[in-house]
Amino acid sequence: MKEFKILAVVVFFTLVTYYLVEPFAHSQMHKHIESEGFEYKDLPELTKKGDAARGQELVMGAGACLGCHSMEVAGMPAPMDPVTAAQSYGVNPPDLSNAGAVYDEKFLAALIQNPAHALMVEHKFDAEKGQMHPMVPFYGAGGDLDQEVADMVTYLKSVAVKKEELTSEQAFELACGRCHADHYAGWTQIGKTPTFKKEQDELKFKTQVLDYQDSLKAYMGKLPPDLSIYIRSRGAHYIETFVENPQNYLKGTAMPRVGVNEHAMEKVVEYLEDSGDAKRHERENVGKYVMIFIVIFALFAFLWKKQIWRDLH
């Protein structure tokens, strides 16, 4: 029994030390930011019920979305390659095929009407000072603006992949992958690194990536970090809350609010886990068996000790 008392003392001081060094120190060094639940409360609710057919006309219409954006699902390829697009806009405008699955509908509606506001980059793009956001706001096709925006959002949602079919790579590409690389997943800002037959092809691809990164650097102020093991250096909570509202962490950052919905965020985290913590399933699985083995070992060691010490006491 005396040994249990000693053990309790040892455990107590160990836990106090652990508490001071880990939970307490981290609470003092990093402010905790609560998740906003991807509700985007500052953006107005959609009041009108959209019509997908009307939306299609607006999205496809002259001078609307497809002037800059591609839409593979509707057979509309990108008007420019990513490098040229980045040279024109700073960053390659996303393909809209799955925008309806990845972005929140309130966010999409706000984005169409006032991109700088929805993206929370008004400190950088102030129209009154002549600093226009590269995405042009939609001023309406002549009818009820709210109705038109609702139609467009409805159309985008109707063509996008179903929720359960959205892959982690699709979510990552739309949410992060045009600014951030993830070289552990083979991802560059202009897409997945292909396998090359000839070194020339590889060098050509690398040159394109570097050219794209130059435009991006000029647009963002610095090259956004590689996200390969952000899941380990930052953790899921940090990433989720950062994506939801970057201004909460870095006031004035050039990183826009991404506007993803909660499901797409889960997919993004899954992508980051596959890249930065790839063996997590194997670890948990092997861990179970090793724990069972060790507990049995400890049990036998205990029985052996009992047997031997029977003669000693």
Binding positions for another protein, rule: CB under 8 A: 2-3, 6-7, 10, 13-14, 16-18, 20-22, 24-25, 28-29, 184, 228-229, 232-235, 278-279, 282-284, 286-287, 290-291, 294-295, 297-302, 304-305, 307-309, 311-313
Going 122 to 124 to 129 to 130, the CA torsion angle's sign is: negative
User: Which is closer to another protein, CB of 22 or CB of 165?
Assistant: 22
Nearest-5° angle of CA 30, CA 220, CA 63? 130
**Of 123, 231, 203, 216, the residue nearest 177 (C-alpha):** 216
Q: How far is the CB of 7 from another protein (least distance, A)?
A: 7
Residue 18 Cβ, how far from another protein at the closest point, in Å? Answer: 8
Specify the residue, 30 or 204, whose C-beta has the smaller distance to another protein: 30
Q: Do residues 258 and 120 lie in contact, with contact meaning Cβ atoms separated by under 8 Å?
A: no
Choice between 61 and 235, CB closer to another protein: 235
Cβ at position 278, least distance to another protein in Å: 5
Give CA–CA dist 257/247, Å, rounded. 8
Residue 94 or 276: which CB sits closer to another protein? 276
- Closer to another protein at the Cβ: 196 or 297? 297
CB of 275 to another protein, least distance (A): 9
37 closest CA partner among 245, 176, 236 = 245
| Burial of 288: CB neighbours in 10 Å, binned 0-12, 13-18, 19+ | exposed
